[in-house]
Structure 1
């Protein structure tokens, strides 16, 4: 990271990035070369790729690239990349989700005082009486009650409900039943067997439209601790995504979808379920392009970035491309839950285009002078990109956080790494 933030590095090997105009009009083409010192003087190795890494972009370069000063954000402060349009989650519930929305051995039951505070926050938010903090979102309700249901139905004794959680739920559930929407009540007690008292709508709930009916059917199995087939998971995902983030059209319940996503992760998704997440949207924008290169290495790091150590993948890929090894990176500008430094943030900070389509990336990979490209999830898989806001509100990583790292947005006919 010092390379990005220090314009005069202390070591003698200085990578540099030069950006030139090309036929992409609104996109820039990265050209690079790597030079090493030797007894015979500087020697060019591999492709002519000259990467210029700068801490600051001068005003002339900013004008040349058509950027605004506000676009040049320091990736060392990765939270600045979070869209201001995304509603913030309620922190009280988010802290509880960090404890209970996880696996059968990692879950930490809430203390009695914590459980009372969480359920009181949910009740006040549902009644519109929460004045001193963010409202509890639908996605948070779905994730939290999905976790509580799966813990009650399928987890080992050590990570099932604590006595304090049970006392808190016995106190608040009669009040919550009158304040929460039907989809959340279904998630909290899908078969009417957890809360007791009778009169639960869970066994009879079916959703509001055909998409939700399919999701509810799959969710019943997930909430019981079960697993789904490849076609079933793929069908649900294609039905409900992309989310209607602009509210111009009615979308599927965020409570149901967040319950489904975190529920599958808590149940430890199977190979066939992960395969469904990986392949569900392969043809969303048409068949993946096939690059005419001798080999292609895909670099898929966790999309939510790094917060504690140096993120070197971008530079490793650039160096390998100098040796004639075509390299494709993919990721996102900002992604929860970690919200750390990503390759896209570093590229934007250096003035590179991060809006390439997969077809444009293919052309760069085939160019003998380049052999390097970055594709954003925003451009390659709009449906999965639409989940960013919801992913922040479910707190823990959903199954798609695993499958997105192995995506192959550009294919080759032979060797792929």
Structure 2
């Protein structure tokens, strides 16, 4: 029988091996729940899971504490281990990127139509900063330019010069600055950076042999350098080639602990270069599937249905983030739900599900096997798994991803994961923001072999839709609340890759058609607490 045990604050303590602080349970709902303003459901659904009912002493509005070590109310905002602001979750051991070069990366490390060439003043400032950093001449208040930044910046400049349309190739100011500084930079930069800036020895007009002769400094770099020659020329790679590179160089170490470590400049160049060239389906599939079995085969749950939710790992910085609570409510109706993400991720560094769970006292160190147990538990049906626990090799890239500034291909592929598989029906739901990524996401879902897939253009690229009416001045392109997906009519996941009938659909959800009046979405910026309180007060 599914009872209030689904909300039992002590359930997670059965996993004794988990290294996470244990808190006292908050046994009473927040004061705002005592008003008759929250969602009301029948006492129990057909599966036996208890759900809240007006006047029922068990009513906690579907706060799924089965995955929470809940905290006392007086610890809600004061616990050092559960900070309330998203920026507090950034690893303090990460060195900050140099701001001058980082801002320039935001302009040049992007696509053929989005790139904004630097002005002469900007280009001279950036290259001067790089030169002074290489010589150890920066001021005390300036952060050094990291290898990751150098790799991303010079790879972007090379790709722009080789393959971009004239409007986003080098500006006249960039050419003047490069002609002035390159002879000095060649004397100060390491061979890997010179290779990225001039792989064929012809781009800078110096006839240097460093780029053409570079093969890498350690064995693990050799395949990466070969792949980079193709990427820097605007080319694409095969599925096995991308997977081979990733498995050669990951996981990264927080510190360079030995001569066998791969140069972060090369890996940064590879990641940002593939994004600038716009990844092919083969390349995206390689990123998506490369580390599926890193910790062994994914556990297989035995539940009626399982929905995987994938939102941007870098979180929200402006609007209400609702998917954690939606998944919790759905689990109360017998629809098992699995969320995944990280504690903190660049470039936005916004609020994530993991931050919200930690703020509420959650145990965010569940292994995939422990998540499977919760999904199968007749009184729970809900779990969250961190990338840190499921795919540590990919999680090791967080620091590097901050320094490359822009989103790499992983920002797309990591949303379509099957950390736990299921014997019954499976669905994947993922959010997106930038036009053009809806079809690649659906392609990855079909490749996963699930019965149904859905992509949603929610606010900030998350899954949260808005009730706000679309402005007449809204930009062109796919509107917020746009959805696209497929349903497999043949229920066998093994047959879902090809030769199976699928029903596809697209729609734009208008809240007014569902009885909602247009309203502005609550803004929470980078604070976790308003999100939790907004849900509690529904």
Question: How much does 1:52 deviate?
Answer: 7.2
Corresponding residue of 2:480 = none
Secondary structure of the 1:405 match is coil
Corresponding residue of 1:44 = 43
Establish whether residue 346 from structure 1 lines up as the match of residue 356 from structure 2: yes
Corresponding residue of 2:448 = none
Question: Which consecutive residues of structure 2, in runs of 5 or more, have no partner in the other structure?
Answer: 1-5, 52-61, 428-538
Secondary structure of the 2:385 match is strand
**Relative contact order higher in (CA < 8 Å, ≥ 6 apart):** 1
Question: How much does 1:60 deviate?
Answer: 8.1
Distance 2:50 2:72 in 1: 24
| C-alpha contact 1:380 1:409 (8 A) present in aligned 2 | yes
Corresponding residue of 2:389 = 379
Corresponding residue of 2:222 = 213
Secondary structure of the 1:373 match is strand
Question: How much does 1:391 deviate?
Answer: 0.1
Establish whether residue 230 from structure 1 lines up as the match of residue 234 from structure 2: no
Secondary structure of the 2:63 match is strand
Question: How much does 1:237 deviate?
Answer: 0.3
Secondary structure of the 1:172 match is helix
| C-alpha contact 1:36 1:42 (8 A) present in aligned 2 | no
Mapping 1:107-146, distance limit 5 Å: 107-131=115-139, 132-146=141-155
Mapping 1:86-101, distance limit 5 Å: 86-101=94-109
Distance 2:34 2:304 in 1: 24
Corresponding residue of 1:58 = 72
| C-alpha contact 1:139 1:393 (8 A) present in aligned 2 | yes
Among 126, 129, 149, the alignment partner of 2:158 is 149
Distance 1:247 1:148 in 2: 26
Distance 1:45 1:319 in 2: 13
Distance 2:44 2:316 in 1: 30
Question: How much does 1:232 deviate?
Answer: 0.2
| Structure 1: 4+ residue segments shifted above 6 A | 28-38, 59-62
Among 16, 25, 47, the alignment partner of 1:25 is 16
Distance 1:127 1:291 in 2: 56
| C-alpha contact 1:221 1:227 (8 A) present in aligned 2 | yes
Distance 2:208 2:294 in 1: 43
Deviation by residue 1:253-292 (Cα, 9 ceiling, x = unmatched): 0000000000000000000000000111111000011100
| C-alpha contact 2:26 2:73 (8 A) present in aligned 1 | no
Question: How much does 1:31 deviate?
Answer: 12
Among 396, 407, 413, the alignment partner of 2:417 is 407
Distance 1:61 1:322 in 2: 27
Distance 1:85 1:102 in 2: 28
| C-alpha contact 2:375 2:381 (8 A) present in aligned 1 | yes
TM-score (norm 2): 0.69
Distance 2:303 2:227 in 1: 42
Distance 1:225 1:42, change over 3 A: closer
Corresponding residue of 2:521 = none
Distance 1:191 1:312, change over 3 A: same
Question: How much does 1:69 deviate?
Answer: 3.0
Distance 2:126 2:291 in 1: 36
Corresponding residue of 1:65 = none
Question: How much does 1:412 deviate?
Answer: 1.1
Alpha-carbon RMSD = 2.8
Secondary structure of the 2:384 match is strand
Establish whether residue 81 from structure 1 lines up as the match of residue 86 from structure 2: no
Distance 2:360 2:241 in 1: 43
Distance 1:296 1:35 in 2: 32
TM-score (norm 1): 0.89
Corresponding residue of 1:248 = 257
